[in-house]
Amino acid sequence: MDATGLTAQEKITLFSAWGLIRKDLDIHGRNMLLLLFHKYPHYVSYFDFTDDASAQTLVDNKSLYSQSIHVIKTFGSLIEYGLKDPALFNETLKKITRIHAERNVYGKDILTIGDVLLNYLAQVLGRQVSDALPDAFRKLFVTIAGRFPVEPTEGDDKDRERSS
């Protein structure tokens, strides 16, 4: 098994599904982020979309749109280029974890966003989605999540502060 944690067949499954959304990636990326915020509203506060001062709602916020394009393109590069080249996959993942350092994003948040993306894909692709996609997709997200820190348990910081 290489750095991706996936079998050759799982890579093909992911690559094919990606091919179906790649044409309108900007729209899908924004929809996925909006769906994340709809299901888990507390994640909105992680981001800063105030660059677009004129937007009335998240849906028409161009700062959100712009950031969602970066997020989805970066995720897509793991599939499009990383699955073929595990060393590149590894480097891309390093970059992704570095972007999120100090932002309180943990492995469990990655698994949550993975579930949202999978739900979204099932909705937009319907019967075009192969039966093998959910498992392959979840495996990919387990690999990504494994590179993120584990959420500190309640009280960790306070205990440290008290003893210092």
Q: Does 147 bind ligand HEM (CB under 6 A)?
A: no
- In angstroms, give the least distance from the CB of 40 to ligand HEM: 8
Binding mask 81-100 for ligand HEM (x = CB under 6 A): ---------------x--xx
**Taking the C-alpha atoms of 74, 77, 79 and 82 in order, what is their torsion angle to the nearest 10 degrees?**
-120
The radius of gyration computed from the CA coordinates of the chain, to the nearest angstrom, equals 17
Q: Which C-beta is closer to ligand HEM: that of 113 or that of 129?
A: 113
How far apart are alpha carbons 83 and 8 in whole angstroms?
A: 9
Of positions 3, 12, 35, 71, contacts ligand HEM by CB under 6 A: 71
Residue 119: Cβ-neighbour burial (10 angstroms; 0-12, 13-18, 19+): middle
Binding mask 101-140 for ligand HEM (x = CB under 6 A): --x-x---xx--x---------------------------
Number of helices and strands in the chain (H, E): 7, 0
Of positions 43, 80, 115, 138, contacts ligand HEM by CB under 6 A: 43
Q: Which C-beta is closer to ligand HEM: that of 98 or that of 158?
A: 98
How far apart are alpha carbons 115 and 65 in whole angstroms?
A: 21
Q: Does 64 bind ligand HEM (CB under 6 A)?
A: no
Number of other residues whose CB lies within 10 A of the CB of residue 75: 23
